[in-house]
A and B are shown apart, each in its own frame.
Chain A
Amino acid sequence: MDLLLMTLTTGIMVGGIYALVALGWVLIYKCSGVLNLAMGEMTLIGAYVTLSFYAMGVPFLLSLLFSLIIGFILGILTERIFLDRLIGEPVLTVIMVTVGLSFFFKGTLEFIWGTDTRVFTPPVFSIEPIRIGPLIIGSVYLWSFVAAIILLVIFVCFFKYTRWGLAMQATADDEMAALSLGVSARYVYAAAWAIAFMAAGVGGTLLGNINGLNISVAYLGLLVLPVVVLGGLNSVPGAILGGIIIGVLQNFCGAYLDQYFPGGVKEVAPFAFMVVFLLWKPYGIWGWERIERV
């Protein structure tokens, strides 16, 4: 019972982190229809920028703010330089550009920050866990979870109530129609990348606090793919729910299945689950179902 409860909470908390990274991913897809394979590197950029400021002695929250500003600028630049010219190109070309971008970002990151593991010193979050009854929760995880929920609320409100949010939804739904209504698709795309960069930065920063930063953290960018698919590629709440489901699933597989299938179950379970799930619901939990016409 204790194990069950612990596994469940751990799963939910880890899921919070996945959800944060997945959010940025969904945003880009939702607004510009781009499957972004450079997400892992974007996460790292945000984290490294925060870390650099923090290492200079800037307070943590302030460094995070700086990182968000830089993320915003980088997002707009990336969209302007690379993605803007590709509007209307085949999907695959765009995906490949994001692959190229991921190499570019990775090389640049390694050039600037090197490949050794860096940590936030002094630690931002205490290593001492928070105890609630029988539950033990690491404080980083708790904060990530809180951050994910806060961002969720912000984004849902943004898409529902602000002009920009509505414009983004409209562009995603039908670019032509949105253009004819006077929405500037180019601004929308740029904004989407900027916001995605920022969300990834928050996720990366929290991630970096758990276990230090190095280039292999970008691997997480891949791990969130099942998360977004599960939630539905263009659903913000779906990303959060998907994150939690995958987090819980992973931990349950680790705790209960590992003895029957030794090795690697935890890593592969999300992907296996994703395939089976898609057979049942081909558009994820809350993804848009497109009705196709000839």
Chain B
Amino acid sequence: MKARALVVVMAVMMTAGFASSVSAADVVIGALNDMTGATSDVGKDYALGIAEAVNYCNDNGGINGKKIKLLQFDYGYRVPEALTKYKLFRRMGAVAVQGWGTGDTEALAPTVTQDKMPYVSASYSGHLANPAKTPYNLFAATDYSSNARATLTAWFDTRWPKHADFGKRKPRMACSYMFASPYASAPIKAIKDQATLLGFDIGPDQDVSLFAVDAKSQVLSLKDFKPDVLWHGNTTMSVSATMRDAYALGLGADHIINLWGFDENLPRLADKAAEGAMAATVNAFYGEEGIPMMPTVVEYAKKFNPGVPQEKRLSRTVQGWSNVLALWEAMKRADKAGALTGESILKQGFHTMKDFDLGLGGAKLTYTDKDHRVSGQVPVYEYKNGKFQRVAVVDLKGRWPDKWQSWLGW
């Protein structure tokens, strides 16, 4: 009964919708976001950022006069849903897609390659940065593997020399992440390689679920190893649970964290256990001073989503902006070069960018047809005295120039 009434309502809305569908001059971009799924705690803010940034692009001329039409869908962090939504984008004539998670992006990679559809994702997995394998996967940020390497290096440079045991023994490092999560496990090989390179002892990996409420047994089994630094690969909820348990059980390790586990929510959840945590955030924090584009970001956030309180906004907004602005730039260049197709967006767009600064506090973007890692320079942040501050910019490429190329695609 009720279901049938619902169907009728939906059908009416549907027909009404198709009547007012895409006009010819618009350029369609699809966006897959997670607003209801497992990563919605960070995904929602990112989605807001995407929508606001597209508005900004349209207010500033669109793509050489053509308006961008954004089709934004929630896929609930489910790979199958992503596959069907992607098909829908293709059907609706999207020229590029803004994606989200590692699992679905990696799963879609062969298909987008075949379709020649530029796929800009919020998964900065190093596996997706090798154009030989995944030519149409892009992101406007340093990849997870470089981030992990840089954070470990930053810790090694700034904290380890101040440690009481400095010079007496090797530093000890351990990793805690969800083994089964493609996102969390993406940089493991890289960070362990970096630890060996810097002369760390590596402890046993600990498996902590993304939904973990407590990680006491994992922390307890680390106590024998006594790590000096613990790398967290999960998202904020589970990272903060582990950090609180590490604090409560007196583990005594410093914390370095993967990108999606380190934002304004971390200190709210982990309280003082968050003090001193380090991570490579790929952009500035939301509302950070001295970032050229930041006032615009804040202005658009206030203008288009006044219902979301400012203190609730996260650095995820800025990440959304980065990906949109990079794609915008590539599309403008492709359009100038003649055609707005997937192939030209990649070749005449992204591959012509060299040291392009988005003004969002992230690395300068360079894409080549051999390497989709945007930069070898990674800014590392630290949470100290109630504030996030930049501690270092680690130049991986400059420091290990002979190795940098071989790290592609990890």
Contact = CB atoms under 8 A, between A and B. Distances in A.
Interface of A: 3, 6-7, 10, 14, 17, 110, 114-117, 119, 121, 123, 127-129, 136, 138, 207, 210-212, 214-217, 219-220, 250-252, 254-255, 258-259, 262-267
Q: Sorted from nearest, which 6 A-B pairs have the closest CB atoms? A: A254-B217, A263-B179, A115-B40, A129-B248, A10-B216, A255-B217
B339 interface: no
Nearest to B209: A267
A114 B48 CA distance: 13
A133 to B, nearest CB: 15
B55 interface: no
Interface in B26-44: 35-36, 38, 40-41, 43-44
Given A14-B216, A115-B40, 13 more contacts: A3-B223, A14-B214, A115-B44, A116-B45, A129-B249, A138-B245, A211-B214, A255-B217, A255-B220, A255-B221, A258-B217, A259-B204, A264-B180
Interface of B: 35-36, 38, 40-41, 43-45, 179-180, 204-207, 209-211, 213-214, 216-218, 220-221, 223-224, 236-237, 240-241, 244-245, 247-250, 265, 268-269, 271-273, 312
Given A7-B217, A117-B265, A266 B240 contact: no
Nearest to B272: A127
A10 B214 contact: yes
Contacts of B216: 6, 10, 14, 251
Nearest to B34: A115
Contacts of B236: 117
Contact of A116 (B44, B204, B247): B44
A216 B217 contact: no
B389 to A, nearest CB: 23
Contacts of A220: 213
Contacts, number: 115
Nearest to B244: A127
A121 B268 contact: yes
Given A119-B268, A266-B207, A127 B213 contact: no
A107 B207 CA distance: 31
Contacts of A267: 209
A110 B220 CA distance: 35
B35 A115 contact: yes
Contacts of A116: 40-41, 44-45, 265, 312
B223 to A, nearest CB: 8
A258 B208 CA distance: 11
A251 B217 CA distance: 6
A252 B204 CA distance: 17
Given A10-B220, A259-B204, A262-B179, A215 B40 contact: yes
B36 A110 contact: yes
Nearest to A121: B268
A265 B38 CA distance: 20
Contact of A7 (B40, B180, B220): B220
B36 A117 contact: no
A3 B271 contact: no
A116 B220 CA distance: 29
B211, B269, B312, most chain A CB atoms within 10 A: B211
A111 to B, nearest CB: 11
Contacts of A216: 38, 210-211, 237
A259 B221 CA distance: 10
B80 to A, nearest CB: 18
Contacts of B224: 3
Contact of A127 (B43, B217, B273): B273
A258 B207 contact: yes
B237 A264 contact: no
Given A123-B271, A136-B248, A117 B41 contact: yes
A6 B244 contact: no
A7, A115, A128, A220, most chain B CB atoms within 10 A: A115
Contacts of A262: 179, 205, 207
A146 B221 CA distance: 27
A212 B205 contact: no
A263 B220 contact: no
B209, B217, B221, B268, most chain A CB atoms within 10 A: B217
A233 to B, nearest CB: 24
A258 B205 CA distance: 10
Contacts of A10: 214, 216-217, 220
6 contacts: A6-B249, A115-B35, A211-B269, A212-B268, A215-B36, A259-B204
A255 B224 CA distance: 12
A252 to B, nearest CB: 8
A264 B185 CA distance: 14
Contacts of A3: 220-221, 223-224
Contacts of B220: 3, 6-7, 10, 255
Contacts of B247: 127
A6 B269 CA distance: 24
B35, B40, B216, B237, most chain A CB atoms within 10 A: B216
Nearest to B270: A127
B33 to A, nearest CB: 11
Contact of B209 (A127, A138, A266): A266
B210 to A, nearest CB: 8
A258 B41 CA distance: 28
A212 B240 contact: yes
A212 B179 contact: no
Given A127-B273, A136-B250, A263-B180, A115 B36 contact: yes
A104 to B, nearest CB: 12
A215 B272 CA distance: 24
A250 B207 CA distance: 13
B218 A254 contact: yes
Contact of B213 (A119, A210, A265): A210
A110 B40 CA distance: 11
Contacts of A258: 206-207, 217-218, 221
A267 B216 CA distance: 14
A114 to B, nearest CB: 7
